[in-house]
């Protein structure tokens, strides 16, 4: 793969400034600067703070990626950047940087979809993505089930969240339990000491009627009812002057999320005749999700692919991975005046 094109990937859709360098399907560098600490006291990502942090981190992160890979910007053959979806101001920083580099270096530019990039990144670890694959993407910003016949050109949404994203639910429940932001890793940790069946929290859009073959939302998710149920349960305990069993609440909440995500992913794969399931997004780092997904996929005769946690959360390597695949398949680059699109539809891989 030493003669494959060298692709630079830039990601700035949320609070991570990511710069990745990929040659073919080989990862050479994955530099990430996160502004998560600056958002902690607000309990969520503040768009303006994220945009400013991207601006400050862009050049140092680019330099760090090149140093790690032992390459110079002149060596880059193509540039890929997240064109959407994401926070508008944050996307603009990465998109403008990528356009400036493409123009200055005279190299093709690929403005790519963030969700397709979350799927493509798995190629860096587990080799060529089987076609079709079924992707379950769960993060602070998205929860989607995708049928992926071709990650460079054909991505079809089967379902998504109707309200909170899965990671958002983790973050909000963590807050109710007095755990720091972002809450997902803390719930994951605390839940290990708790009983998963201590409290029977609701499984959104998973009743017999909502799961019927013709039900409109059978592959969609809803986590706001679960989040409210947890908050109410905790409030009642506190009002009664009783101690809140934090580990049990965390474990029972986590189980409800994991149960719904894995059940729907397995059902979607089977119904669409897909053998390979890919997990992505920050919540894919969840230890219980990884275990249950593995168990349920194995029981259903499906193969599961999960990138390591650092490649599941937002990063530049995923953008470079998709860019490299677009180059390998001879797809035409984006125009230099393509817009950063905060609402870029999942069906659009390339801007
Ligand atoms: O993909 P990501 O880094 O950023 C976007 O939101 O796009 O995902 C961050 C989300 C946060 O909501 C965080 O709480 C969640 O992923 N997360 C986890 C875990 N690690 C990160 N959720 C559950 N369990 C984890 N171990
Ligand atoms: Zn993401």
Q: How far is the CA of 45 from the centre of ligand 2 (A)?
A: 13
Contacts of residue 173, defined as CB under 8 A and 6 or more positions apart, other chains included, come to 183, 187, 227, 230, 231, 249, 250, 253
Average pLDDT over residues 191-202: 98
CA separation for the pair 100, 336 (Å, rounded): 9
Question: Which residue among 45, 50, 170, 344 is best mutated to probe the pocket of ligand 1, counting the most ligand atoms within 8 A of its Cβ?
Answer: 170
Closest ligand by atom to 114 CA: 2
Contacts of residue 216, defined as CB under 8 A and 6 or more positions apart, other chains included, come to none
Average pLDDT over residues 178-205: 97
Query: For position 44, what pLDDT does the model report?
Result: 84
Is residue 350 scored above 60 in pLDDT?
A: yes
As given in the structure block, the two tokens for residue 233 are: 């349960």
Is residue 2 scored above 80 in pLDDT?
A: no
Q: Is the pTM of this model over 0.85?
A: yes
Q: How far is the CA of 281 from the centre of ligand 2 (A)?
A: 5
The count of residues in the chain is 351
Closest CA to 95 of 341, 348, 345, 343: 341
Q: How far is the CA of 19 from the centre of ligand 2 (A)?
A: 14
Query: What is the SS3 assignment for 211?
Result: helix
Phi, psi (rounded to 5 degrees) for 249: -65, -45
Distances (CA, A) of 286 to 46, 162, 283, 322: 24, 22, 5, 24
Question: Which residue among 42, 167, 186 is best mutated to probe the pocket of ligand 1, counting the most ligand atoms within 8 A of its Cβ?
Answer: 167
Query: For position 1, what pLDDT does the model report?
Result: 54
Atom of ligand 1 nearest to the CA of 140: 6
Residue of minimum CA distance from atom 6 in ligand 1:
140
CA separation for the pair 283, 306 (Å, rounded): 11
Mean pLDDT value across the chain: 96
Is the separation of the CB atoms in 33 and 16 below 8 Å? Answer: yes
H-state helical runs in the chain: 36-39, 47-69, 88-105, 114-120, 123-126, 166-176, 184-191, 208-211, 224-239, 246-271, 287-299, 309-312, 316-328
Please state, as a whole number, how many other Cβ atoms lie within 10 Å of the Cβ of residue 285. Answer: 23
What residues form DSSP beta bridges with 34?
16
Average pLDDT over residues 2-15: 94
* DSSP symbols for 29-72: EEEEEE-HHHHGGGTS--HHHHHHHHHHHHHHHHHHHHHHHT--
Instruction: Give pLDDT tens digits for 134-164.
Output: 999 999 988 999 999 999 999 999 999 999 9
Atom of ligand 1 nearest to the CA of 139: 8
Q: How far is the CA of 314 from the centre of ligand 2 (A)?
A: 5
Instruction: Give pLDDT tens digits for 224-269.
Output: 999 999 999 999 999 999 999 999 999 999 999 999 999 999 999 9
DSSP 19: E
pLDDT band of 178, cuts 50, 70, 90: very high
Distances (CA, A) of 92 to 48, 87, 296, 300, 340: 12, 9, 40, 42, 6
Q: Which residues line ligand 1 (CB under 6 A)?
A: 14, 139-141, 167, 170-171, 182-185, 188, 281-283, 285-286, 313-314
Q: How far is the CA of 236 from the centre of ligand 2 (A)?
A: 35
Dihedral angle of Cα 299, 303, 307, 308, to the nearest 10 degrees? 50
Closest CA to 187 of 251, 281, 259: 251
Q: How far is the CA of 14 from the centre of ligand 2 (A)?
A: 8
What angle is formed at CA 131 by the lines to CA 290 and CA 76, rounded to 5 degrees? 90
Query: What is the SS3 assignment for 189?
Result: helix
């Amino acid at each position: 793969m030493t003669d494959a094109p060298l692709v630079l990937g830039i990601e700035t859709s949320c609070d991570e400034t990511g710069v990745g360098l990929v040659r073919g399907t080989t990862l050479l560098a994955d530099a990430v600067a996160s502004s998560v600490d600056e958002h902690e006291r607000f309990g969520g990502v503040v768009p303006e703070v994220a945009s400013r942090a991207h601006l400050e981190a862009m050049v140092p992160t680019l330099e760090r990626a090149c140093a790690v890979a032992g390459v110079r910007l002149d060596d880059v053959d193509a540039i890929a950047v997240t064109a959407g979806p994401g926070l508008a101001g944050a996307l603009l920083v990465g998109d403008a940087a990528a356009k400036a580099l493409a123009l200055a270096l005279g190299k093709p530019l690929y403005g790519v979809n963030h969700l397709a990039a979350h799927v493509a990144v798995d190629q860096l670890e587990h080799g060529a993505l089987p076609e079709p694959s079924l992707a379950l993407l769960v993060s602070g910003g998205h929860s989607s089930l995708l049928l992926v016949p071709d990650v460079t050109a054909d991505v079809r949404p089967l379902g998504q969240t109707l309200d909170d994203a899965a990671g958002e639910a983790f973050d909000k429940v963590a807050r109710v339990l007095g755990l720091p932001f972002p809450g997902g890793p803390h719930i994951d940790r605390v839940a290990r000491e708790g009983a998963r069946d201590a409290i029977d929290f609701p499984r959104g859009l998973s009743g017999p009627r909502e799961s019927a073959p013709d039900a409109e939302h059978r592959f969609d998710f809803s986590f706001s009812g679960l989040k409210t149920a947890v908050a109410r349960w905790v409030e009642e305990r506190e009002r009664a002057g009783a101690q809140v069993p934090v580990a049990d609440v965390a474990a029972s909440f986590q189980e409800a999320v994991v149960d719904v995500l894995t059940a729907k992913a397995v059902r979607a794969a089977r119904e669409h005749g897909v053998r390979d399931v890919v997990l992505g997004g920050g919540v894919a780092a969840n230890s219980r999700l990884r275990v249950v997904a593995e168990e349920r996929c194995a029981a259903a005769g499906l193969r599961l692919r999960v990138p390591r946690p650092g490649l599941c959360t937002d990063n530049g390597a995923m953008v470079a991975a998709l860019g490299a695949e677009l180059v390998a398949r001879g797809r035409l680059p984006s125009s230099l005046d393509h817009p950063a699109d905060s609402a870029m539809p999942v069906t659009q891989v390339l801007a």
